[in-house]
Amino acid sequence: MAPQHRSARRESHPQSTTETRCRQIIAQGLTARGLTARANPATFDKNHRRAIITPTPQRVAVITGASSGIGKAAAALLLGAGWRVIAQGRDPTRTAAANADLAAACKDGARLDMLTADLSLMADTARLAQQITALTPRIDALLCNAGGIRAQQHITGEGFDATFAGNHLGHFLLVHRLFPLLAAAAAARVIATSSSGHQVSPPCDWSDPQMRASWESSPAYCRAKLYNILFIRELARRGAGHGIIAHAMHPGRVASNFASHGDPTLQSYMAANPSDPPEASAATLAYLAADAAPGRSSGLYWHDKAPVSPAPAALNDADAAQLWAISEAMLARVDQPVQSIVAPAANPSTD
């Protein structure tokens, strides 16, 4: 039976403008805790009267945005549970520092590989996928956590709005390029870090999906966070027949460097309100990657280790399919075509 949904908690805001409402919703947050590990199975050899330990293959996680914040904290949790973690950061200096910190978290044979790439650049994302493919033949959990907000609009050299590309399109490409590795694992997880900001996203306008003509900092971010949930919803549908489980999560208001890239109003709002440490939200991210319970469902939106109800716009299957098609077309235009993930056809009835 699918988990029962509970409504996400919302705050009332005196301001009415979309920009101000987005800033405030972005900053909402609660606390999450805990991580469940698994034991290795064993069988019994009746002839020799001894237990035969059948080792579970070391589970492998790929985590984007792992040089700081909840991505780094989630990497530490999984490394502490003995996982192999392939982590990505954008800034070389911060990534190198995270590598040193996370190496100390390794336990029970855990292994860490730290890679540098900019997910707002599709060529760089494709290179990252190649590096990951060279490191492992399978991926048990892909945590699409990288993202952020920008104070000013920036168009990349490939012609994409950086907020759109860094929060959505780069992960869309990465999931496709790593899909064979995900399919090689049993019931692999793809988890996207979204935000309650999706609740106040401007309506999807497929004539301008990147908001190029009407760009504002917080609305552009909120729209990208809506795209995260729509992408996961469609991936859950397409990937189910391939053994893929997909979920999105709201991390809450986190004490990280997130606001440092936003405009002064957002920075002031974040500074004036209490935030949870990254480890609190990272616990939910690691829970979705490692625990058995989230593996019994797919396509849900989570907070504090429980499914919650997203905004109605995030449940629009037509928009989810449209976003998928538009994203494929965008990648093809920059010479990064992907092989579309297609739900296997149902077997014809034999009745």
What pLDDT, on a 0 to 100 scale, did the predictor assign at position 11?
40
The length of the chain, given as a count of residues: 351
Q: Is 123 inside a domain boundary?
A: yes
Q: Is 65 inside a domain boundary?
A: yes
pLDDT at 255 over 60: no
> Which is higher by pLDDT, 30 or 339?
339
pLDDT mean over 253-262: 59
Between β-strands 306-309 and 6-7, what pairing exists: parallel, antiparallel or unpaired? Answer: parallel
What tokens does 91 get? Answer: 């800034």
pLDDT at 33 over 60: no
**216-245 pLDDT per residue, tens:** 999 999 999 999 999 999 999 999 999 999
CATH of residue 161's domain is: 3.40.50.720
From CA 87, how far away is CA 307, in angstroms rounded?
Answer: 26
Predicted confidence band of residue 345 (pLDDT cuts 50, 70, 90): confident
Q: How many domains does the chain have?
A: 1
Task: Please name the residue ranges forming H helices in 210-263.
Answer: 217-239
From CA 169, how far away is CA 64, in angstroms rounded?
Answer: 13
Q: Is 205 inside a domain boundary?
A: yes
Record the pTM.
0.83
pLDDT at 49 over 90: no
Three-class DSSP category at 246: strand
- Helix (H) or strand (E) segment spanning residue 46: none
pLDDT exceeding 70 applies to what percent of the chain?
76
**300-338 pLDDT per residue, tens:** 999 999 999 999 999 999 999 999 999 999 999 999 999
What pLDDT, on a 0 to 100 scale, did the predictor assign at position 344?
79
Mean pLDDT of the chain: 86
Q: Is 245 inside a domain boundary?
A: yes
pLDDT at 41 over 50: no
What pLDDT, on a 0 to 100 scale, did the predictor assign at position 17?
60
What pLDDT, on a 0 to 100 scale, did the predictor assign at position 5?
47
From CA 88, how far away is CA 266, in angstroms rounded?
Answer: 26
What are the backbone dihedrals phi and psi of residue 143, each rounded to the nearest 5 degrees, phi first? Answer: -100, 105
227 included as an active-site residue: no
What pLDDT, on a 0 to 100 scale, did the predictor assign at position 76?
97
Predicted confidence band of residue 43 (pLDDT cuts 50, 70, 90): very low
From CA 231, how far away is CA 169, in angstroms rounded?
Answer: 10
pLDDT at 295 over 50: yes
Q: Is 345 inside a domain boundary?
A: no
What pLDDT, on a 0 to 100 scale, did the predictor assign at position 14?
44
From CA 24, how far away is CA 15, in angstroms rounded?
Answer: 9
What pLDDT, on a 0 to 100 scale, did the predictor assign at position 16?
45
Three-class DSSP category at 45: strand
Q: Considering 221, 227, 287, 301, which one is annotated as catalytic?
A: 221
Predicted confidence band of residue 72 (pLDDT cuts 50, 70, 90): very high
Question: Is 304 within 8 Å of 30 (Cβ atoms)?
Answer: yes
Residue with tokens 């694992």: 185
Structural domain of 265: 59-333
What pLDDT, on a 0 to 100 scale, did the predictor assign at position 6?
45
What are the backbone dihedrals phi and psi of residue 111, each rounded to the nearest 5 degrees, phi first? Answer: -135, 140
pLDDT exceeding 90 applies to what percent of the chain?
72
Q: Is 263 inside a domain boundary?
A: yes
- The region of weakest confidence among 12-21, 103-112, 151-160, 334-343 is 12-21
pLDDT at 112 over 90: yes
What pLDDT, on a 0 to 100 scale, did the predictor assign at position 272?
65
Three-class DSSP category at 211: coil
Q: Is 197 inside a domain boundary?
A: yes
Q: Is 19 inside a domain boundary?
A: no
